[in-house]
Amino acid sequence: MNDFDQLLPLWLKLSNSGEDYVQATIVEVEGSGYRKPGAHMLIAADGRRAGTISGGCLEAEVARKAMWHTESGTNGTVIRRYSTKAEDGEVPFGMGCGGVVYVLLERRATAEPLFEHMRAAFHERQPLAIATILNGKNAGSRAFWPATRAHSLASDLNKSLLSLAKEGFDGQRSFSAELCTEDPLAWKIHVQFCSARPGLFVFGAGDDAVPLVKLARQLGWYVAVADGRSHLVTKARFPEADDVHVLLPGDFPELPMRSTDAVAIMTHSLEQDTRILTALIEKQLTYIGVLGPRSRTADMLVEIAEKLAVPTSKIPHKAATWLEMLHSPMGLDLGGNTPREIALAAVAEIQQCLHRASGISISKLRATRSESVAELGTKRETALQS
């Protein structure tokens, strides 16, 4: 849901003006594709668009014919197939990914409820699961979880669709399914799980915090900045931040933190960092990073254990346990030491933790999972000869 901030401004304009539009959603990918199922693009009747469904090579073609394709679709919806496989003839669109992308195109009548639910989930930073009917007379109808309403469906079908949405929500996964009905053909269902919009809370308003906030905002994250230096922690200095807070001595503000959020502690003040870490050390967060040497963080943790009345004999173990939980020093080893390079390393590590990814080179990761170039070449030559 991180890229919804790109679609939201255009959707609000179109929705408020009553203009029609087409929402394009990838619902299936065979083989290789730049974007995965669940990627969205919004297309206005006058050609304006927001969002992406490819690396930039498919958007113009989809946008050019979107209104025309949906004129005759059931409920203003239609699924279009876009192939980049060589065996399908000349590769159109210049993609060359070697895959097939299926795109659901739908008009405002069915897309509007989708945007309304996604906008609420985006601003509330809550996860959302969406079950969409792709074919038949109810194409474009949806159920949302944790919302509880499907559109224009009989109660039994409503329950079935809601059950699939709940399955996606509980399992935190997207998948395809079929729903048996009285129609001759089973309904094809696309279930999309949208994870909560991540939040990054930056404690520190120094020069090194500025590029960190900018990078996080470009990724669509919710970003808040807090510092005890009121002359630095200002909206003018951090225009990309969703919120700014002045940390008052002896007081820690109530911040809208969720378990899926990340924290970066980088005030460069030992006293401030210790106070912030004391308030956050027991919170269940996806990521807590501390800028600076590991030995400095270890000393802070010993002091925090003493403040929290941890028994003296247990302080070393408690501090060591906390230290293993934290990311200190903060960031991946990418090289460089400028504020922008440090920010990039920190954002990369946070992204890795948010997605529970390996953090290793994708080419090396793929090499362990796929065939060698020689094997692929042999297969291709055999296929051409047959």
Residue 360 lies in a domain: no
At 218 the pLDDT is: 93
C-alpha span between 95 and 86 (Å, rounded) = 11
Specify the range with the lowest mean pLDDT, choosing from 72-81, 110-119, 263-272, 364-373: 364-373
Whether 182 and 248 share a structural domain: no
Residue 173 lies in a domain: yes
Q: What is the pLDDT of residues 82-133, one digit of tens each?
A: 876 655 554 455 455 667 899 999 999 999 999 999 999 999 999 999 999 9
Is 368 inside a domain boundary? no
The pLDDT-based confidence of 10 (bands split at 50, 70, 90) is very high
Sign of CA dihedral 84, 138, 115, 70: positive
CATH of the domain at 242: 3.40.50.720
pLDDT of the residue at 384: 45
pLDDT band at 361 (very low <50, low <70, confident <90, very high): confident
Q: What is the pLDDT of residues 246-258, one digit of tens each?
A: 999 888 888 999 9
More confident residue, 4 or 222: 222
9 and 114 belong to one structural domain: yes
For residues 74 and 15, state if they share a domain: yes
Let me know if residue 365 belongs to a domain. Answer: no
Quote the DSSP letter at residue 92: G
Strand pairing report for 100-107 and 128-133:
unpaired
Structural domains in the chain (count): 2
Nearest residue to 320 (alpha-carbon basis) of 346, 289, 294: 294
> Residues 15, 160: one domain?
yes
Q: Do 186 and 258 reside in the same domain of the chain?
A: no
Give Cα 5 distance to the centre of its chain.
Answer: 11
Q: Are residues 278 and 185 in the same domain?
A: no
Query: Quick one: 208 and 262 in the same domain?
Result: yes
pLDDT for the residue numbered 1: 59
* Residue 366 included in any domain: no
For 155-170, what is the mean pLDDT? 87
Establish if 343 belongs to a structural domain: yes
Same domain for 46 and 92, yes or no, is yes
- Residue 10 tokens read as 């255009």
Q: How confident is the model at residue 216 (pLDDT cuts 50, 70, 90)?
A: very high
pLDDT value, residue 311: 95
- Does residue 76 contact residue 66 with C-beta atoms inside 8 Å? no
- Going by the DSSP 8-state scheme, the letter that residue 195 receives in this structure is P
Instruction: Note down the domain range covering 219.
Output: 199-354
Does a structural domain hold residue 364? no
Give 340 or 159, the one with higher predicted confidence: 340
The answer to whether position 30 is within a domain reads yes
Q: Which of 139, 136, 133, 195 is nearest to 168 (CA)?
A: 195
- Picking from 194, 212, 228, the residue at the C-terminal end of a domain is 194
What CA–CA distance (Å, rounded) separates 68 from 211?
A: 43
Residue at which a domain ends, from 172, 194, 216: 194
Domain shared by 103 and 222, yes or no = no
Q: Are 188 and 289 contained in the same domain?
A: no
From 139, 171, 194, the end of a domain falls on 194
pLDDT for residue 249? 85
79 and 50 share one domain = yes
Choose among 222, 229, 291: nearest CA to 257: 222
Residues 234 and 302 in one domain: yes
pLDDT of residue 183: 62
For range 344-362, the mean pLDDT: 92
Residues 262-276 have a mean pLDDT of 95
